[in-house]
Amino acid sequence: MSMDKRDIYDGLSKLELDLESSLQQLTAMKAALQEIVEKNTTLELENQKLREYLQELKEENAAEEVKQGMSKSRMNLEKIYEEGFHICRESYGARRENDEQCVFCLEVLYRESQN
C-alpha cells in the first residue's frame, strides 16, 4: 500500500506544524526555567545573608548576656517582680502583698540557666 504524493505532503505539513508547536512550548519552558533559576539564586543569596545576620545577632546577644549576667527575658521578669508581681509558676501575675519576697520567684530569676 503506497501513499500518494498528496498524503505525503499533508503528512509532512502536519509534522512541521507539530514540530513548530513543540518548539514554541520548549522555548516557553526554557524561559520559565531560566526565571526560576534566577529567583532561586537570588533567594539562596538572600538566605545566606539572613543566616549571617542571625548569627551576628546571636553572638551579640550572647555577649550581652555575659556582659549583663542575665538574659533579656530574665531582666524583663525581674522588672515585673520589682513592680510587685509574682513571676513564679505557683502565683504568676498575682500581686505580691506588701512586696514580700517569694522564694519561688527568686528561684526563677536567679537559678543557673539550663543550656
Q: Is the pTM of this model over 0.95?
A: no
Rg, Å, the chain Cα set: 35
Residue 102, annotated as binding a ligand: yes
Cβ–Cβ under 8 Å, residues 57 and 72: no
> For residue 85, what are the β-bridge partners?
95
Residue 84 has pLDDT above 50, yes or no: yes
pLDDT tens, 7-61? 999 999 999 999 999 999 999 999 999 999 999 999 999 999 999 999 988 888 7
Residue 85, annotated as binding a ligand: no
Listing DSSP states for 42-99 in one string gives HHHHHHHHHHHHHHHHHHHHHHHHHHHSS-HHHHHHHHHHHTTB--STTTTTPBPGGG
Domain extent listing, the chain: 1-69, 70-114
Distance of CA 94 to the CA centre of its chain: 36
> For residue 95, what are the β-bridge partners?
85
